[in-house]
Structure 1
Amino acid sequence: MTARVLFTVLVCTVLAVGIGPVPPPPAGGAVKGVGMHELAGFTVGHLPEGVGGQVSDFHTEWGGVAFSSRVWERELPDGGYTVDLKLNVLRGERLGDLPSVRAFLSEYHERDAAAWDLRPFRHGAAAGHRTDGLVFWLVEPGLVVEVRLDPARFGESELTATALGVRRVEPAKRSG
């Protein structure tokens, strides 16, 4: 074995032992409590029945906007994965009002803003839009929540219930 291969094996072994075994996703669906863990100041109070149990969080930036994302995936029979549900919390100066949010998200999702069939949506006092499998609303200037649900598996009522189940965590109650 070369020194490089030996080093790689050693690093992987140390990481595997240090991290410990990662439990597999539960059979039969998502762990309901996973949605309740805070993501960028928000929790998810409703997950559709049958949503995938492979849950991951990501933090990225695109177009000057910071994204905090949680993704629920399920394994396909061929061994691949597909996304059932994605929650995005977006923060950025470009998101000052609802028309700006619509313009930003049409660019992000590569949609023609003029042809994008969006309908009004309300999350409490917050105004937003919805379309097949997607809901977004302006929480306050600079802060947007977006929920995407696979429309081939879940109906509009589940999209609505999931979106309305997203709640902002009060600063005093946030975990450190």
Structure 2
Amino acid sequence: MGLTARVLLTVFVVGLGLIPPPAGAQEEAAMHELAGFTVDHLPEGIGDQVTDFHTEWGGVAFASRVWERELPDGGYSVDLKVNVLRGDRLADLAATRAFLAEYHERDPAEWDLRPFRHGDAAGHRTDGLAFWLVERGLVAEVRLDSARFPEPELTRTALGVHRVGPAERSG
């Protein structure tokens, strides 16, 4: 079984809770492609339960990877979520902002967003959330638990999300 198949199987089986994650599972999952992107930086102490999801909301397709940690009471809490969004509604940064305000149930007039740059891509950030328009119809979003991780960690994590070129794609 190749590395890609092992990583996919591990992420799937761990995500279902059938086995505990092996040491380094968070890092392996981060390096594995998520809808054309990888995550090159994870915060220290990030949860070790890693799950991928594919959903659609409002005509936009979401590919998501979530890192959770088990709480002492037996529940789970999300430490980090990386979303790759694709859809015609994401035509530009203003349309993306409007879509995400609706998705996150935020009042667009009161949503305190600050400019954010990811290389040449323009975006916005707020406490625990950064997003940027990669290209028309393609957006990357990072949500980090701001109660556990300091604000600079959001920047490091978001800047560690990179698009994979065709030559780098696993398969």
Shorter-chain TM-score range: 0.7 to 0.9
Report the AA paired with residue 140 of structure 1. E
TM-score, normalised to structure 2's length?
0.87
Higher alpha-carbon Rg: 1
Whether 1:151 and 2:142 are equivalent positions in the alignment is no
**Matched residue, 1:8:** none
Aligned match for 1:95, one of 72, 90, 93: 90
Alpha-carbon shift at residue 95 of structure 1 (Å): 0.1
Deviation per residue, 1:35-66 (Å, 9 max, x gap): 11000000000000000000000000000000
Following the alignment from structure 1 to structure 2, what is the Cα–Cα distance between the partners of residues 79 and 131? 30
Alpha-carbon shift at residue 70 of structure 1 (Å): 0.1
Q: How many residues align?
A: 156
Give me the CA root mean square deviation.
1.6
- 1:44-55 to 2 correspondences below 5 Å: 44-55=39-50
Following the alignment from structure 2 to structure 1, what is the Cα–Cα distance between the partners of residues 22 and 107? 39
- 1:64-143 to 2 correspondences below 5 Å: 64-143=59-138
Alpha-carbon shift at residue 30 of structure 1 (Å): 5.7
Alpha-carbon shift at residue 26 of structure 1 (Å): 4.8
Report the AA paired with residue 47 of structure 1. L
**Matched residue, 1:4:** none
Alpha-carbon shift at residue 33 of structure 1 (Å): 2.3
Aligned-residue sequence identity (percent) comes to 78
Instruction: Give structure 1 stretches of 5+ with no counterpart.
Output: 1-18
Runs of 4+ in 1 over 4 A off after TM superposition: none
Alpha-carbon shift at residue 34 of structure 1 (Å): 1.9
**Matched residue, 1:43:** 38
Instruction: Give structure 2 stretches of 5+ with no counterpart.
Output: 1-12
Whether 1:56 and 2:51 are equivalent positions in the alignment is yes
